[in-house]
Amino acid sequence: MSDFPWLKSYPDFVPETAPINYSSIVQIYEDSIKKFGPKTAYKNMDVEISYNDVAENVDALVWYFQNKTNLKKGDKIALQMPNLLQYPIAIFACLKAGFVIVNTNPLYTSDEMLHQYNDSGAKAIIILENFAVNLENILSKTKIETVITTTIGDMLGGLKGAIVNLVVRKVKKMVPKYNLPNAIPLKKILKETNGKKGNVVELSNGDTAFLQYTGGTTGVSKGAELTHGNICANVSQVEAWIGESINEGEEVMITALPLYHIFALTANCLTFFRYGSKNILITNPRDMPKFCADLKKNPFTAITGVNTLFIGLMNQEVFKGLDFSNLKLALGGGMAVQDVVADEWEKLTGCALLEAYGLSETSPAATINPYNGKHKRGTIGLPLPNTYIKIFDDDRKEVTQGEPGEIGIKGPQVMKGYWNRPEETANCMHGDYFLTGDIGTMDEEGYFKIIDRKKEMILVSGFNVYPNDVEKAIAENPKVLEVGVRGEKNEDGIEFVRAFIVKKDDSLTEEEIIEFCRTKLTNYKVPKNISFREELPKSNVGKILRRLLK
């Protein structure tokens, strides 16, 4: 017990070791379909589908995969869409067919997509038509054979779906023209295969379920290989942590974080599916008035989010006037939850905002604050059952309690490794402990706190930004001589990207660079500020020293 001081801080109902109750994610899925069939599983844009509806569509899509494509168990399939009703259907169908899902940010540029598809070896893709032109630009350079397109209105019903698609295509002009002659519409597939069922694919805990792309603790984006066992373990661990407080079949969960993000994928899409919850999918949480209108219509019992999302909501007058009497769980992760935000949230809603911590490599949850009033503000909480955390110095020796060092995590939720990168995998492991690249401390009660990141990764709204990616894009501008990128924080403690540039052409402006970056990078990676310099600090071998950029 003394080796693991967090155990004495555990709520009474939480076991030190939680049983892992499932052989695969598909078992979680099947159990929930049987248990909650007629209940509402997902709601999006005021349209609801039941657990039985999900199953019917999943079966139809599995049949299509098995009878109309060359795809087989273990093949990689990219999913690229925002939160829509068809997203969880695609996830469950792909897993049931035995595929490995490559979740892809729909806002990626063609270059970013190309890297992810080729690195993963994806053979198929389901993509929202709004982003299809980016796929057209690179399709010939990939191994993708099966292309399925979907629309925002696909699952919203005849008239409503048609109106939504008309507005999106003609009024808002959000769908650039594209030419993918061999692409098949998802709606057509589901209509033609309705009522059909595919063959059962045998799955075990050792089979890979997701390649979840991340920069890890170093530069280039790589796929964390997460098995069915990793995800099932994490669902079981979270169940043990909060399960006593959750009423099966009665919870209403707000899913504003995108399902391609590991936090929403495991917590919202899978764990709360297992609870039989009604999941409210928010397609565009940046449209705060519309988001708050959805919240008003759906009295919710649980919500997950990142710090910036909670700030955004609390700045809306409509949100302040909502009825929070049903709210029992608010979980913050993906980036640090600021104390002032947690205080304001609790004061406004009457519900504690619990900070959790995890990474793509840990499926993701490693620590969560206790769900019994013993949460500690400013900490990331306690390790989950079956999870062991040590803090190491630069020589990989364990530090004394209270001393800062690199957080290492051991547990059944830790990834199999980085896809096709054995050297990178070996570098981030110390025995059974995954080295996170985050510097933290542990107090005498076993609560952990993040101090800083060991590497130079920048965290923007919960998403990893790697200076290498941004520098590479900026360096392609012919007016740039040298560039260095680092993260900085504004007065509110929110991190953003700043670029330091030495001009090759004196006519280069800040606006020009930002516009250039927008053609190369997803929005959150685009620098918010540009500083022009005569020279950049360098090491004796000519490497730009980011830590000295000021």
The enclosing domain of 526 has a CATH number of 3.30.300.30
Domain count, the chain: 2
Q: Give the count of beta carbons closer than 10 Å to the beta carbon of residue 380.
A: 27
* Within a domain: 473: yes
pLDDT digits (tens, 9 = 90+) for 65-99: 999 999 999 999 999 999 999 999 999 999 999 99
List the beta strands (DSSP E) in 6-45.
40-44
* Within a domain: 523: yes
Q: How far apart are CA 191 and CA 184, in angstroms?
A: 12
Domain endpoint, select from 170, 203, 236: 203
**Residue 141: what pLDDT?**
98
Burial of 50 (0-12, 13-18, 19+ CB in 10 A): middle
* Within a domain: 145: yes
Domain endpoint, select from 203, 231, 246: 203
Burial of 172 (0-12, 13-18, 19+ CB in 10 A): exposed
pLDDT digits (tens, 9 = 90+) for 320-359: 999 999 999 999 987 778 787 899 999 999 999 999 999 9
Residue 43 scores a pLDDT above 50: yes
Residue 542 scores a pLDDT above 60: no
* Within a domain: 463: yes
* Within a domain: 330: no
Question: What sign for the dihedral angle of Cα 109, 112, 118, 122?
Answer: negative
pLDDT digits (tens, 9 = 90+) for 304-321: 998 878 988 998 999 999
pLDDT digits (tens, 9 = 90+) for 93-110: 999 999 999 999 998 999
Q: How far apart are CA 450 and CA 371, in angstroms?
A: 20
The enclosing domain of 61 has a CATH number of 3.40.50.980
pLDDT digits (tens, 9 = 90+) for 157-191: 989 999 999 999 999 999 999 999 999 999 999 99
* Within a domain: 448: no
Band the pLDDT of 539: cuts 50, 70, 90: low
Domain endpoint, select from 203, 225, 241: 203
List the beta strands (DSSP E) in 387-492.
388-392, 405-410, 417-418, 429-430, 433-442, 448-453, 458-460, 463-465, 480-489
**Residue 543: what pLDDT?**
65
* Within a domain: 282: no
pLDDT digits (tens, 9 = 90+) for 463-522: 878 787 898 889 889 998 888 999 999 888 889 999 999 998 999 999 999 999 999 999
Global pTM?
0.86
Asked if residues 362 and 414 have their Cβ atoms less than 8 Å apart, the reply is: yes
Band the pLDDT of 523: cuts 50, 70, 90: very high
Q: How far apart are CA 190 and CA 167, in angstroms?
A: 23
* Within a domain: 402: no
**3-class DSSP state for residue 291?**
helix
Letter for the amino acid at 545?
A: L
Domain extent, residue 115, equals: 51-203
